[in-house]
Amino acid sequence: MDGRDTWAEADEQALRHNMQVQRDTVGPGVKINVCIKMNAYGFGADWVARIAAQEGIDGFAWCDADDAAQVRGAGVDLPVLLYPGTHGAGLQVLAQHGFINTAHDGLSLAACLGSARPFYLELDCGLGRLGFPAQDPEAILQAMGNNPAICQLVGAYAHFDDQLDRVAVDRQGCLFQRCVDVLQGRFDRPLERTVGASRVLVTDARWALKATNPSALRYGLHGALAGLTLHSVLVGVKGCVIAIRHIPRESMSGYPVKTWSSGRVVALVPAGYSDGLPRVQPQGPALRRGHQVPVDWPRHATPSTPCST
């Protein structure tokens, strides 16, 4: 019980269906690492993790160690790759919990090598956020040196910009491949290669490579762009009416304060920003006992909590 009469309902069978579509799309030889960021987009990291494990997903990948702890708390022991989200000095502690850390610069690389646990490299192919510059693989090899813990490197990944632009995806993908090809010369086993977020896969499925980390596709987004039959996992946001208000004609309410053009009866539901409702005029109705009712507020106002009439 969380003290609020607002909740979201999810369709478990839709989630399982979408996971199977992903597997069928990339094929059995490609690993699928489920991205469960933001508490699995609000669906619950532990709930999604248990279903993913039952559906044969290979592992998980995101940056929040708290979400990773939920996965472990749910009894799921599949590999968990942590994207950069922790200062290098804290990586050894995370490695001790069995998480796979990411080296994205000299400090984090030193921490990963020092832990002597499995780790990944993040490469920067143009996004400009985090990662070793993919244009200079020799500098990465030099930073690794002859440390014996280099044998713990699992693979490399990158996050692309312009993910729905085929030309941009191809340019960044080719840069990524050339960099990893050079790194591969130091290893007698194949390094895993991952660039396949949902929008990258929608743009060009060739970039599934040997491992993917889709998230949006799992919940039913972008399917039409890729010609995939996906189902929405979100059934809807629901709430209980907690008050009935009689709003007289020409009365003022909301913030910024505006005037109602006519009188009405308004039912209030405790839902707002934190439930994913935007601070703009809604484009569709709500349902009350199966019947459509308008979602409304004073003309031109931008309240934080919409009112369902």
Report yes or no on 233 lying in a domain.
Answer: no
Same domain? For 246 and 271 the reply is yes
Same domain? For 139 and 249 the reply is no
Same domain? For 217 and 150 the reply is yes
Same domain? For 125 and 160 the reply is yes
Report yes or no on 76 lying in a domain.
Answer: yes
CATH of the domain at 44: 3.20.20.10
pLDDT at 152: 94
Total-model pTM: 0.76
What residues does 238 pair with on adjacent strands? 7
Same domain? For 76 and 139 the reply is yes
Same domain? For 214 and 294 the reply is no
Report yes or no on 1 lying in a domain.
Answer: no
**What is the pLDDT confidence band of residue 225, given thresholds at 50, 70 and 90?**
low
Same domain? For 31 and 176 the reply is yes
Q: Which domain holds residue 134?
A: 11-228
Report yes or no on 62 lying in a domain.
Answer: yes
Are 211 and 32 a contacting pair, CB within 8 Å?
yes
Average pLDDT over residues 274-286: 63
**Does 256 sit behind a cis peptide bond, omega within 30 degrees of 0 on the bond before it?**
yes
What is the per-residue pLDDT across 235-269, written as a single tens digit (0 to 9) for each? 877 888 889 888 888 777 665 666 777 777 888 88
Same domain? For 224 and 244 the reply is no
Residue 91: CB partners within 8 Å, gap ≥ 6?
A: 101, 108, 111, 112, 115
Higher pLDDT, 88 or 1: 88
Same domain? For 156 and 245 the reply is no
Q: Residue 61: what residue type?
A: A
What is the per-residue pLDDT across 13-53, written as a single tens digit (0 to 9) for each? 999 999 998 888 888 888 999 888 888 888 888 999 999 99
What is the per-residue pLDDT across 202-211, written as a single tens digit (0 to 9) for each? 788 888 888 8
Same domain? For 50 and 161 the reply is yes
**What is the pLDDT confidence band of residue 303, given thresholds at 50, 70 and 90?**
very low
Same domain? For 179 and 259 the reply is no
Q: Which of 57-66, 93-102, 104-113, 236-245 has the lowest mean pLDDT?
A: 93-102
Proportion of the chain in helix, strand, coil states, percent, rounded to 5: 35, 25, 40
Two tokens at 307?
A: 């009112």
Two tokens at 203?
A: 């743009």
Same domain? For 40 and 182 the reply is yes
pLDDT at 306: 41
Q: Using H for helix, E for strand and C for coil, what is the string for 36-80?
A: CHHHHHCCCHHHHHHHHHHCCCCEEEECCHHHHHHHHHCCCCCCE
What's the total number of domains in the chain?
Answer: 2
Give the integer Cα–Cα distance in Å for 47 and 245.
38
